[in-house]
Amino acid sequence: MYPKLVVDLKKLQGNLDAVAEITKDRGGCSLMIVTKGLCADPEMAGLVARDPKVDYMADSRVKNLASYADMARANGKKTVLLRIPMHDEVEGVIQYADISFNSELSTIRLLNEEAGRAGKVHDIVLMIDLGDLREGIFFRNEDLIREAVEEILQMEHINLYGIAVNLTCYGAIIPKYDNLSQLVEIARKIEEKYDIRLQMVSGGNSSSIYLIDKGELPEGINNLRLGEAFLLGNDTAYETDLPGTVGDTVTLQAQIVELKEKPSLPIGEVGVDAFGQKPYYEDRGIMKRAIIAVGKQDTDLDSMTPTDPQIEIMGGSSDHTILDVTHCDRDYKVGDVVTFELGYGGMLKVATSPYVEREYVRG
Ligand SMILES: *Cc1c(COP(=O)(O)O)cnc(C)c1O
């Protein structure tokens, strides 16, 4: 059935081998694989869980962690919640995450209480914001960092596992030797002042991996958290392909439901489209237009590329996508299937849509 997300497990394994070699063998870091980009797809999660090179399995959603926590733990991996937890979800966090990333003392207090009730000690990683301005205690507020660390160290059921930074997500700030060195410096200060050892100093996501082969990952960063680098083979700092990886691990297939020759300019007064946008049209004369049965409810039209380079995506609405097939050598027919490579946003939406079927390539 279409639309269909085709997940190539062999290619994913190849990407995992490649990022593990860079991160662990060449970078000396532990490897945290982030599963949210593919909504913790169970086959992908199984592949990650079984791989001895992976140290941690992480996601931003408790629900995704819940789906594979048993399997991850049975294979010796710790589960990690990446998004700062809601007060509302502390019970699930304690149950399914061995480690959670945090920046709010009020939440950490609730985690402490819940861990106590569950008879556990919960590991937390304190997020430090080095300027990207998403989550974390701002690095210049040393008083706030000290205050948080001191209270956490008093908590009976919380262990301060480490500190971490996230970059290139909101402010699009690129990780460099200089800003990551500040994270290491903060870690060393905490360790000296309180005479403790932080197990994790996590230097970022897929935008940090490029630093390893440049020899610019600061000594002391001992973990990277990789989602897109693993799933799509991307270094997200400079948008290059990581050596040894491929970008077509997942593809979207959709079926043509209508194929007609029509003008390129709509007829009548132009209002707004289904999403309240005023469309822009270019007069290209009579066109051969194919409609495929997939739309903005299932995918991101700006984050998918037809594997037939002669196809152009014209636009779409919730359930329809219109393709210009005028210049295609292939003589498309109704019922034919069109394949797209996906970017991160497209992959995320396609994997989230309950209307898209899934198929696995096992090689
Ligand atoms: C999503 C996320 C990651 C993984 O990001 P990629 O760019 O896919 O590698 C890492 N850390 C945090 C905190 C995240 O939210």
| pLDDT, tens digit, 9 for 90 and up, residues 170-191 | 889 999 999 999 999 999 999 9
> Is residue 273 predicted with pLDDT exceeding 90?
no
> pLDDT value at position 179?
96
> Does 80 map to a domain?
yes
Question: Pocket of ligand 1, candidates 169, 236, 348: which has the most ligand atoms within 8 Å of its Cβ, to mutate?
Answer: 169
Mean per-residue pLDDT over the chain, rounded:
97
Expressed as residue numbers, the domain containing 71 is: 9-239
> pLDDT value at position 96?
98
Which pLDDT band holds residue 282 (cuts at 50, 70, 90)?
confident
> Is residue 56 predicted with pLDDT exceeding 90?
yes
Tell how far the Cα of 240 is from the centroid of ligand 1, in angstroms: 17
What is the residue with the minimal CA distance to atom 14 of ligand 1?
82
Mark whether 304 and 229 lie in a shared domain.
Answer: no
What is the residue with the minimal CA distance to atom 8 of ligand 1?
227
Which pLDDT band holds residue 280 (cuts at 50, 70, 90)?
confident
What is the residue with the minimal CA distance to atom 12 of ligand 1?
82
> Given 239, 271, 303, which residue is the final one in a domain?
239
The token pair that represents 309 in the structure block: 């380079």
In DSSP notation, 261-281 reads EEESS--S-----TTSPPP--
Whole-angstrom Cα Rg for the chain: 23
> Is residue 208 predicted with pLDDT exceeding 90?
yes
> Is residue 270 predicted with pLDDT exceeding 90?
no
Interatomic CA distance for residues 247 and 343, integer angstroms: 9
Q: Which residues does residue 240 pair with via DSSP β-bridges, in sequence order?
A: 235
CA distances from 117 to 42, 79, 97, 98, 113 (A): 30, 20, 15, 15, 6
> pLDDT value at position 363?
78
Give mean pLDDT, residues 342-363: 97
Interatomic CA distance for residues 123 and 145, integer angstroms: 17
Give mean pLDDT, residues 142-168: 97
Mark whether 273 and 184 lie in a shared domain.
Answer: no
What is the residue with the minimal CA distance to atom 11 of ligand 1?
205
Tell how far the Cα of 6 is from the centroid of ligand 1, in angstroms: 23
Number of domains in the chain: 2
Mark whether 105 and 156 lie in a shared domain.
Answer: yes
In the chain, the percentage of residues whose pLDDT exceeds 70 is: 100
Pocket of ligand 1 (CB under 6 A): 34, 36-37, 60, 82, 101, 166, 205-206, 225-229, 236
> Given 215, 239, 263, which residue is the final one in a domain?
239
The token pair that represents 209 in the structure block: 């991996």
Among this protein's residues, is 176 annotated catalytic? no
Tell how far the Cα of 227 is from the centroid of ligand 1, in angstroms: 6
Tell me if 353 sits within 8 A of 331, measured CB to CB: no
> Given 211, 239, 267, which residue is the final one in a domain?
239
Mark whether 182 and 284 lie in a shared domain.
Answer: no
pLDDT tens for residues 76-93?
A: 999 999 999 999 999 999
**Ligand 1 closest atom vs CA 344:** 8
> Hey, how many other C-beta atoms are within 10 angstroms of the C-beta on 127?
20
**Ligand 1 closest atom vs CA 169:** 7
